């Protein structure tokens, strides 16, 4: 959360309630002098406890910056704009000025986090730079964090505590089809921080006027779609074209990619027939078993808006919790064994 001025302007949240109000007040008091402080709250367990009844412990890091930090924040803004990954290391030095280091990739993480004889070069540093060294386990944890984009972690860095948080790449939803479902899926997906690519063969549907929130809109034939759209482990392919023949064209290409999620609209009968057709063409069952169809979580959706919501809910579930064997998929092996 960012706090400006006298605390009367904020952006973001750190949980709300009385504890957040205290942090806003403390941040406002700190403005004007660069500094770093850690606040610790033991949350109560009775209604009479001022800080809440949830139980547990929460810690907040408040850092106050002056204009000397602008280069670092410009760099972070550029990284986010380019959708690049990395991690931001905050050395916890209560009472002292903020010390931050931006690490762009695993190689840099390994090099910088083990530096202890020479000061870090200015390019990788924020307000101040101090030589330090992570243990091998800590370096591994930081690399894992950079790769997955999981929540931040606190690690020990050569006697100095550090908070490491990801500059995660936003996962990308590729909407194959630009009809009424995609119209709503794009909006919901963007609101929960997915990048959105819309792909359709019809110019009158695939355009930025119809999809103003989309990062990319492509109007082209579905043959060779993934020659035009980059697919990696952070990609979520949603197949909602205007007909089952086009669905099959896209699905046959999609199952050969590294996409984390492949979902196709349709009934169980349609899914069974299309998967069998692809199996008959020689596509291994292991690839076909990756397909989520019928698509979306079972929330009793009826309207296009509700169906789109169920689909985006499934995308969030896969993103945050991963795949759960036996759920979501309609594999050929289970189909053949059912009545």
Q: Give CA–CA dist 181/173, Å, rounded.
A: 13
DSSP state of 134: B
DSSP state of 291: E
pLDDT (0 to 100) of residue 272:
93
pLDDT (0 to 100) of residue 48:
63
Q: Give CA–CA dist 23/62, Å, rounded.
A: 8
Alpha helix segments (H runs only) across 50-135: 70-81, 106-112
Q: Give CA–CA dist 6/243, Å, rounded.
A: 57
pLDDT (0 to 100) of residue 166:
78
Architecture in CATH for domain 172-336: 3-Layer(aba) Sandwich (3.40)
pLDDT (0 to 100) of residue 149:
62
Q: Give CA–CA dist 87/222, Å, rounded.
A: 37
* pLDDT tens digits, one per residue of 179-200: 999 999 999 999 999 999 999 9
pLDDT (0 to 100) of residue 188:
98
CA dihedral (127, 131, 137, 143) positive or negative: positive
Query: Where exactly are the structural domains of the chain?
Result: 1-64, 68-169, 172-336
DSSP assignments along 197-251, one per residue: EEEES-TTTSSTTT-TT-SEEEES-STTHHHHS---TTEEEEE--SSHHHHHHHH
* pLDDT tens digits, one per residue of 115-139: 332 333 334 443 334 445 666 777 7
Q: Give CA–CA dist 165/86, Å, rounded.
A: 9
Beta bridge partners of 138: none
Q: Which residues of the chain have pLDDT under 70?
A: 7, 45-53, 85, 94-97, 101-135, 143, 146-150, 157-160, 168, 324-339
Residue 290, number of CB atoms within 10 A of its CB? 18
Beta bridge partners of 3: 10
Q: pTM of this prediction?
A: 0.74
């Amino acid at each position: 959360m960012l706090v400006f001025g006298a605390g009367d302007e904020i952006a973001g949240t750190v949980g709300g309630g009385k504890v957040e109000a205290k942090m806003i007040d403390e941040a406002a008091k700190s403005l004007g002098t660069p500094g770093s402080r850690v606040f610790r709250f033991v949350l109560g367990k009775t209604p009479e406890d001022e800080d809440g009844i949830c139980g547990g412990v929460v810690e907040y890091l408040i850092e106050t910056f002056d204009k000397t930090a602008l280069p670092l924040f410009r760099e972070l803004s550029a990284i986010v704009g380019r959708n690049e990954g990395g991690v931001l290391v905050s050395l916890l030095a209560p009472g002292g000025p903020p010390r931050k280091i931006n690490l762009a990739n695993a190689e840099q993480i390994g090099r910088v986090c083990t530096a202890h004889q020479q000061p870090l070069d200015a390019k990788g540093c924020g307000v101040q730079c101090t030589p330090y060294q992570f243990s091998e386990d800590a370096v591994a944890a930081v690399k894992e964090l950079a790769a997955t984009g999981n929540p931040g972690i606190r690690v020990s860095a050569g006697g100095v505590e550090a908070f490491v948080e990801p500059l995660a790449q936003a996962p990308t939803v590729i909407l194959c089809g630009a009809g009424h479902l995609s119209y709503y899926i794009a909006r919901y997906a963007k609101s929960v921080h997915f990048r959105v690519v819309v792909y359709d063969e019809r110019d009158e549907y695939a355009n930025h006027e119809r999809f103003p929130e989309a990062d990319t809109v492509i109007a082209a034939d579905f043959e060779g779609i993934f020659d035009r759209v980059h697919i990696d482990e952070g990609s979520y392919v949603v197949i909602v074209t205007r007909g089952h023949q086009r669905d099959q064209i896209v699905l046959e290409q999609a199952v050969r990619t590294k996409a984390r999620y492949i979902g196709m609209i349709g009934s169980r009968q349609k899914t069974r027939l299309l998967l069998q057709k692809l199996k008959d063409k020689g596509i291994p069952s292991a690839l076909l078993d990756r397909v989520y169809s019928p698509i979306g979580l079972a929330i009793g959706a009826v309207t296009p808006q509700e169906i789109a919501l169920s689909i985006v809910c499934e995308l969030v579930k896969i993103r945050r919790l991963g795949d759960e064997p036996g759920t979501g998929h309609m594999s050929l092996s289970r189909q053949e064994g059912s009545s």
